[in-house]
Amino acid sequence: MKPLSRRTLLRGTGAALALPWLEAMAAKGPAAKAPVRMAVLYMPNGVHPDNWTPAGVGREFVLNKTLSPLEAFKKDLIVATNLWNQASKGGDGHYVKTSGFLTCTTVTKTLGVDINCNGVSMDQVAAQRSGQQTPFPSFELGVNPVTTGVDRNVGYTRVYGSHIAWSGHTNPLAREINPRSVFERLLRSTRPAGNSAKSDAQLLDLVLDDAKQLRTQLGRADQVRMDEYLSVVRSLEERLERSTSPAQRAWKPRVAIDPAAKPEAQPKDYADHVRLMLDMIALAFQTDSTRIATFMFSNAVSNQNFSFVDGVKGGHHSISHHMDDPEQMRQYQLIGQWHVAQYAYLLQKLAAIPEGESNVLHNSMILFGAGFRDGNKHDPHNLPLVLAGRAGGRLNTGQHLIYSPDSPLSNLYVSMLDAFGTPVERFADSTGPARGVLV
């Protein structure tokens, strides 16, 4: 593989500088328990079905080829086998399985007019209940912009293939794909808010009045749109207010960001771009700017050219339709392994950030997965899923958990939401927590 250019990588373990006052604070007494963070890395097009599942079960397991980049983190992993997403069974091969990945619901088939994922994604369930504690309730990140157009072959808007985070049934969350923009947002949020935040809040007050007044003149369907605008402006206003009134501010940046570590805005190279976005997740977690992040390696049906990986020649989606051809399958496996290696890179990065007596990885849970297993079959049975990090000690890692065939994926989400500190009784089609995940 082509080495990453040093230029694009952030320096050291991150772009954060430890602040003297923080160390002083830490010395004062027993430090508060570090918060739990959660990230989900989604990969499109599935994985080679035969080189994923580890050999062995429970604590005695051997990583298969595709997961081999995770060898150093074996003790921090849970590999979950036999979970499936029943709600994403029908429909088409990709869109239903992307938007439904974190909602465990069946999205409405449409070119757009009645777009509805019929659920809220697991990350947003967590964000809606805990997001007030950090400057950003959650981060939605990606590398590629939303795919153009609607897919008339299968009858779905490609919006479904470009979003995994849904804050409401009809609200996919737009993603940030520019690493510099993310960096600048982080930079602003970790600095003391000045007068500009106050005057922004005043301005938004007037905007809210405009929107409320306009709302009264609208028909019902249009009111829904105006409500969306009201709600996003209100949340921005609240955030600005929180940042300007220190008394109310529960959140304190754990470290400051080095402004000189600014990444480039539009990395030319896909691999660089992926790593920079993962760097941003690490930085956001390190500074406690947000505790929830979702990241899409690419959109559904992506035909990203992976010829930069040694031994691969061609695009992801076309190779995923390997037709059981051994040569295609070999390349398909290499692409999957490349994705896992990027996941390992993020784990490495988080593990290298000390926090209290452990590190950020210890206090996180990072899920890696895809919406179906074999790209040649678009099959949502036995999904490829790995969870890493210990959620501050809540996760029982170092295991290969084999469930009975077709156990609900949503059970895993129930366990994750519990570990995150936002427990739910049920999530979509869940039947309980996933056995063995929690300590």
Partner 1 sequence: MLKFLLFLAPAAFAADPFTFAEAQGLLRTHCAKCHSGKVALGGFNFSQFPDEASITTRSKLWARAANLIREGEMPPPGNPAVALEDRDRFSTWITTTLHKAACADGITPPAFPLRRLNRNEYTATVRDLLNIPVNAGRNLPIDGAGGEGFDNAAETLFISPIHAEKYLEAAKIALDYAMRDPKSRAAFLTPTPDARATLTALLPRAFRRPVQPAEIDRYVALFAAAEKRGDTYDDAISYAIQGVMMSPHFLFRLENATHDYAMASRLSYFLWGGMPDAELFKLAAEGKLADPEVLSAQTVRMLKDQKSREFAENFVGQWLSIRELGRDIKPDPKVAGDYYETEVESGIQYEPALFFHEILMQNEPLTYLIDAPYSVVSSKLARYYGMVPTGIRQQPVRFKLPPGSHRGGLLGMAAVLAVSSYPTRTSPVLRGKWILESLLGTPPPPPPPNVPELKEHEGGTPQTLRARLEQHRANPTCASCHNRIDPMGFGLENYDSVGRWRDTDAGQPIDASGVLPDGTKYNGPDELKKVLFAKKNQIVRNLAGKMLGYALGRGLTTEDECAVDQIVTAVERDGYKAHTLITEIVRSVPFRLETKQ
Helix axes 179-189, 270-286, angle to 10 degrees: 10
Give the integer Cα–Cα distance in Å for 437 and 408.
Answer: 14
Beta strands 60-62 and 55-57 are antiparallel
Q: Interface mask (CB under 8 A) for partner 1, residues 140-159, using x and -?
A: x---xxxxxxx-xxxx-xxx
Choices 21-29, 98-106, 228-236, 344-352 (CB under 8 A): range interacting with partner 1: 228-236
Q: For residues 154 and 213, give the distance between their C-alpha atoms in angstroms, rounded to a whole number.
A: 41
Site for partner 1 (CB under 8 A): how many residues? 79
Residue among 141, 34, 129 at smallest CA distance from 418: 129
> Phi and psi dihedrals of 166, rounded to 5?
-125, 120
Return the residue of 219, 260, 310, 357 that touches partner 1, per CB under 8 A. Answer: 219
d(CA 128, CA 132): 8
The answer to whether 313 contacts partner 1 (rule: CB under 8 A) is yes
> Whole-angstrom Cα distance, residue 131 to residue 19?
24
Q: Least distance from C-beta 185 to partner 1, angstroms?
A: 8
**Residue of 108, 178, 342, 407 interacting with partner 1 (CB under 8 A):** 178
When the beta carbons of 228 and 429 are compared against partner 1, the nearer one is: 228
In the list 17, 191, 194, 235, the residue contacting partner 1 (rule: CB under 8 A) is 235
* Contacts of residue 155, Cβ cutoff 8 Å, sequence gap at least 6: 92, 109, 110, 111
Torsional class of 428: left (φ above 0), alpha (ψ -120 to 50), beta (otherwise): left
Q: From the CB of 175, what's the least distance to partner 1, in Å? A: 7
Nearest-approach distance from CB 429 to partner 1, in angstroms? 21
Q: Is 24 in the site for partner 1 (CB under 8 A)?
A: no
Q: Does 175 bind partner 1 (CB under 8 A)?
A: yes
Tell me: does residue 307 bind partner 1 (CB under 8 A): yes
Q: Are 402 and 81 in contact (CB under 8 A)?
A: yes
| Contact flag: residue 299 with partner 1 (CB under 8 A) | yes
In degrees, to the nearest 5, what angle opens at C-alpha 316 toward C-alphas 315 and 319?
Answer: 85
Contact status: 202 vs partner 1 (CB under 8 A): yes
Among 18, 26, 218, 439, binds partner 1 (CB under 8 A): 218
Binding partner 1 by CB under 8 A: which of 11, 75, 225, 426? 225
Q: Looking at 204, 309, 424, 438, which residue binds partner 1 (CB under 8 A)? A: 204
Residue 377: CB minimum distance to partner 1, A: 6
- 362 is an interface residue for partner 1 by CB under 8 A: no
Q: How far apart are CA 419 and CA 423, in angstroms?
A: 8
Please state, as a whole number, how many other Cβ atoms lie within 10 Å of the Cβ of residue 367.
24
Q: State which of positions 375-394 bind partner 1 (CB under 8 A).
A: 376-378
* Shortest separation between residue 407's beta carbon and partner 1, angstroms: 22
Strand residue runs (E) in 285-421: 292-296, 354-355, 358-359, 364-370, 385-388, 399-408
Q: Pick one of 232, 245, 248, 432: the residue that binds partner 1 (CB under 8 A).
A: 232
Residues within window 245-274 making contact with partner 1, judged by CB under 8 A: none
In the bound complex, what is the minimum distance in angstroms from residue 152's beta carbon to partner 1?
Answer: 4
Sign, Cα dihedral of 184, 187, 190, 195: negative
| Region near partner 1 per CB under 8 A, out of 21-29, 173-181, 242-250, 398-406 | 173-181
Task: Find residue 293's DSSP bridge partners.
Answer: 39, 139
Residues 322-351 touching partner 1, rule: CB under 8 A, are: 323-325
Question: Which parts of 73-112 interact with partner 1 (CB under 8 A)?
Answer: 92-93, 110-112
